[in-house]
Amino acid sequence: MTVAGDEGRVHIVGAGLAGLSAAVRLAAQGRAVTLYEAAAQAGGRCRSFHDARLDCLIDNGNHLMMTANTAVLDYLDLLQAGDALTGPAQAAFPFLDLESGQRWTLKPSAGRIPWWIFRSRQRVPGTHLASYLKGLRLAFAGADARIGDCLDTHDPLWRPFWEPLIVAVLNTPAEEGSARLLWQMLLLTFARGEAACRPLVARDGLGPALVDPALAFLADRGAEIRFNQRLRRIDFNDERAARLDFAGQAIALGSADQVILALPPQAAEGLLPGLDAPRESHAIVNAHIRLPQAPDWPFEAHQAEGGREVPFMGLLGGTADWLFLRGSVVSLTVSAATALAQRPNDEIAAALWSDTARALNLDPALNPPIRVINEKRATFAQTPAALRRRPPPRSAWRNLFLAGDWTATGLPATIESAVRSGDAAAKALTLP
């Protein structure tokens, strides 16, 4: 048995973005930190790896961030990795309807007044001002209101705007999602104008952008990082966590030691008696396709702020929701994909290649290598019922805190939410 000293070490279990965020904040304050991870690498659902079939670095999932994501930007500033994200100098969201072939680009206007919805040429084709104003119903939604209770799913704006936005943000069938949670997201982004809506993508991948700089930061500050360490049990003594039982190793906690659990909700529930966490989840399916050469981009090219851009587009009328392009590698994402995730990977690959060929005007007879990645429990189902189960960072035990995008951050389960949860746990840990 290893007995920790009384110097007040913080034991952080889980090296996803929530755990990394907490560890970075505490290490920056000079706290002694040990970070444990059950896998052989950090990043959790936000990691990069070299794929032998494609012979290149790919992400396990695609993530689109925004300039409104201040916690992510602060995290990168602390790591001196602010140039790891790239995006257009002005907010622009290209869309393609694969059924009709119609293309358009959504460009929010500057300032808090959404002037763009009053201008027919800037609205989504075929939509009218009244459809946008109906979105104000979300502002008055109660805690139990679903989006389908507030917005008309037969309105012309539903398919080309609301549904792709909701599914991307909440990873939940659009009509079932929490109306209040969607409204909070709109307040942080579109309600603040174009400057808050500029899309950001990891320039060289999620690992190089968000994970590798954090590991280097922690190593430089003497933090211990232990991989292949799965927490099996926590022993409690009165109001405190007393021991962490990993496979093959037990850590007895000193009187000043503290613990942050940055684990998925199912794992946290299995370790903490009485924890009532969100249980239902939805899948996200991603695919990466290595083309023989970089294809022509079918939309107007936008100058990336700070360097090379990673073009992307929203897709309607097919299987994929979003398409990203890094050189010759196409990456696609399908959210709220629980039904799709049950299909064989070769069927998923065929459907997503069909979308890609149509979107990029490629020969459908090509047979490029494709890697399908199926995250069957990507996020919790962000319904009104599930939101009531999101716990605060403080647990029932005085020296144990919670982090994760499923905790009560007030935001959808996104990278921003994960980073904020780590910040919140680190802050709660330092308060009396």
In a shared domain, residues 343 and 248: no
Please say if the pLDDT value at position 303 is more than 90.
no
Strand partners, 375: 284
Phi, psi of 168, deg, nearest 5: -65, -40
Contact yes or no for 86/200 (Cβ under 8 A): yes
Residue 309's pLDDT is what? 74
In a shared domain, residues 203 and 299: yes
Residue 128 lies in a domain: yes
In a shared domain, residues 288 and 327: yes
- When pLDDT is cut at 50, 70 and 90, the band that residue 248 belongs to is confident
Q: How far apart are CA 349 and CA 9, in angstroms?
A: 47
Residue 149 lies in a domain: yes
Average predicted confidence (pLDDT) for the chain? 94
Q: Which domain holds residue 286?
A: 48-89+199-207+281-380
CB atoms within 10 A of CB 146: 21
Residue 104 lies in a domain: no
In the chain, pLDDT over 90 holds for what percent of residues?
Answer: 93
Question: 363, 380, 397 — which closes off a domain?
Answer: 380
In a shared domain, residues 176 and 84: no
Question: What CATH number corresponds to the domain at position 76?
Answer: 3.90.660.10
Residue 213 lies in a domain: no
Q: pLDDT tens across 21-40, in order?
A: 999 999 999 999 999 999 99
In a shared domain, residues 114 and 189: yes
* Residue 342 Cα to chain centre, angstroms: 22
Instruction: Spell out the residues 6+ positions from residue 322 whose beta carbon is closer than 8 angstroms to its own.
Output: 62, 64, 168, 312, 313, 314, 315, 332, 333
Q: How far apart are CA 268 and CA 243, in angstroms?
A: 15
Strand partners, 16: 43
| Rg, Å, the chain Cα set | 22
Please say if the pLDDT value at position 339 is more than 90.
yes
Question: What CATH number corresponds to the domain at position 406?
Answer: 3.50.50.60
Please say if the pLDDT value at position 260 is more than 80.
yes
Please say if the pLDDT value at position 307 is more than 90.
no
Residue 3's pLDDT is what? 40
- When pLDDT is cut at 50, 70 and 90, the band that residue 272 belongs to is very high
In a shared domain, residues 131 and 266: no
Residue 195's pLDDT is what? 96
Q: How far apart are CA 7 and CA 338, in angstroms?
A: 46
In a shared domain, residues 326 and 263: no
Element (H, E) at 225: strand 224-226
Please say if the pLDDT value at position 410 is more than 60.
yes
Please say if the pLDDT value at position 305 is more than 70.
no
C-alpha to C-alpha distances, 18 to 15, 197, 254, 362, 416, nearest whole angstrom: 7, 23, 24, 39, 9
User: Higher-confidence residue: 139 or 4?
Assistant: 139
In a shared domain, residues 275 and 285: no
Residue 26 lies in a domain: yes
As for how many domains the chain has, the answer is: 3
Residue 188's pLDDT is what? 96
Strand order in the sheet with 65-66: 65-66, 199-202, 85-86
Residue 369 lies in a domain: yes
In a shared domain, residues 298 and 203: yes
Please say if the pLDDT value at position 430 is more than 80.
yes
Q: pLDDT tens across 107-122, in order?
A: 999 999 999 999 999 9
Pairing of strands 312-316, 93-97: parallel
Q: pLDDT tens across 387-399, in order?
A: 999 999 999 999 9
In a shared domain, residues 313 and 373: yes
Question: 175, 196, 217 — which closes off a domain?
Answer: 196
Residue 32 lies in a domain: yes
pTM of this prediction? 0.95
Residue 4's pLDDT is what? 41
Residue 271 lies in a domain: yes
In a shared domain, residues 294 and 372: yes
Residue 310's pLDDT is what? 83
Q: Average pLDDT, stretch 39-57?
A: 95
Q: How far apart are CA 46 and CA 43, in angstroms?
A: 5
Please say if the pLDDT value at position 308 is more than 80.
no
Q: How far apart are CA 325 and CA 429, in angstroms?
A: 41
In a shared domain, residues 328 and 304: yes
- When pLDDT is cut at 50, 70 and 90, the band that residue 5 belongs to is very low
